[in-house]
Amino acid sequence: MNLASPFSLSVVAITALALLGLPIGHSMIAGSILYLWLAGLDMGTSAEQLLNGLYTSYILLAVPMFILAAELMNAGTMTDRLLQFCNAVVGRFRGGLAQVNVLQSIIFAGMSGSAIADAAGTGKMMQQLMTRDGKYPASYAAALTAVTSVIGPIIPPSIPLVIFALISDASIGYLFIAGIVPGLLLALTQMIIVAIDARRKNFPVEKPVPLRELPGITLRAFPALMLPVVLLVGIRGGVMTPTEAAAVAAGYALLISVAIYRSVTPGQLYHALLNSARTTASIGMLIAGALVFNYVVTVENIPQSLSVILKSWDLSPMGFLILVNILLLILGCVLEGTTILLVIVPVLIPTAETLGVDMVHFGVMVVVNIMLGLVTPPYGLLLFIMTRIAEVPLRDLVRDVMPFLYAMIAALMLITFFPSLVLWLPRLLGYQG
């Protein structure tokens, strides 16, 4: 590649602006405009691509609705009720509070659609509960909170899977269904590691919740527990599209919080709407920047060029998937997952399609991989976030993360080598891919 070419200078500009602190979405827009100027193309094309991408994509409406649903669920007592349910189910075992941390990641899956938001939200709460009175080492609690946070964006409803559907034209409904088993598989690996550590390190046993209280606790949490079920049944039954399901999720969360639990005040509702708007605007600018930059990538024929190069290597479909896994694990250490999905993955999709890789399997594998990259040393973003939240040295956090990371990478390899693990449930429900 010519280092003085418009594309090279555009990439340099994006990198420099991002390093100077400009949001990556704005950096990509600026770098793309620079490319159009240097290449002698109409710079107004950037606005055209941005507007066409954002305002003609019905699927993108799902993103703000899922974010609003998460904010409404977090605004009231729903979080407390769900944590009480988790504690009643697994808190009675040795290391029970650590197991609660894993289980809550399943229960709260999709409430924010962001692993980073999960770590800073319910994850921060679990960090405080685990370290209270010195029950668990701070570094271990922080490590567990970091790895459990990656489950939320995999189990539906999942914003990363919505974004993958946007760039690949894969079915959102089947992507949601396909994310269930991999998400549960990651949670199972974490629970196994916790169980081993609990006996080896003699973690405390929490005071068990009497079994006679379990039905009442379950009943109080039942409306919140039913949200994913309502969405999946509605989508699979053809009652609603995934975008409509996102609106139903927001309405359902509002109904539960206001009418059933009566735990959201007008002030909290205002802040939930405000926070949702801010988060949506942030994600929207990132998507806008990626849409403009992807036009530049298309003009440069980079996906086709990469496809030709990979074909010359005579890779098998499985060899290609292994190469993608390695690439994304490395990139996940230094880039936010949405950026990878919107900028890197579209370049890989044409080659995957040429090799006959199933897009639902590919999408779930990609999302799982990107989430693991967030806890991969030395620069996993969740590691740095948890060092600030827990105030522990990075080296101690990395030490406690590694057993979980090895187990989750093993789960990723199972997902990669055995597509049936991902596709059996969608096929059971009619998927023909």
CA dist., res. 181 & res. 47, Å (int): 40
pLDDT top residue among 348 and 265: 348
All structural domains of the chain with their residue ranges: 14-56+283-300, 59-264+302-429
Sequence-distant contacts of 252-257: CB under 8 A, at least 24 apart: 252/69, 252/227, 253/68, 253/69, 253/70, 253/72, 253/73, 253/78, 253/227, 254/72, 256/73, 256/78, 256/223, 256/224, 257/72, 257/73, 257/75, 257/76, 257/78
366-389 burial, b for 16+ CB within 10 Å, e for fewer?
A: bbbbbbbbbbbeeebbbbebbbeb
Neighbours of 142 (CB within 10 A): 31
Mean pLDDT of the chain: 81
Q: Does the pLDDT at position 403 exceed 90?
A: yes
Most confident of the ranges 49-53, 162-166, 225-229: 162-166
User: Residue 236 — very low, low, confident or very high, per pLDDT cuts 50/70/90?
Assistant: low
Provide the whole-model pTM.
0.76
In the chain, the percentage of residues whose pLDDT exceeds 90 is 15
The pLDDT tens digits for 22-32 are 877 788 888 88
Collapsing DSSP states into helix, strand and coil, what is residue 94? strand
Neighbours of 424 (CB within 10 A): 14
CA distances from 71 to 65, 155, 204, 286, 425 (A): 10, 18, 33, 20, 30
CA dist., res. 237 & res. 215, Å (int): 29
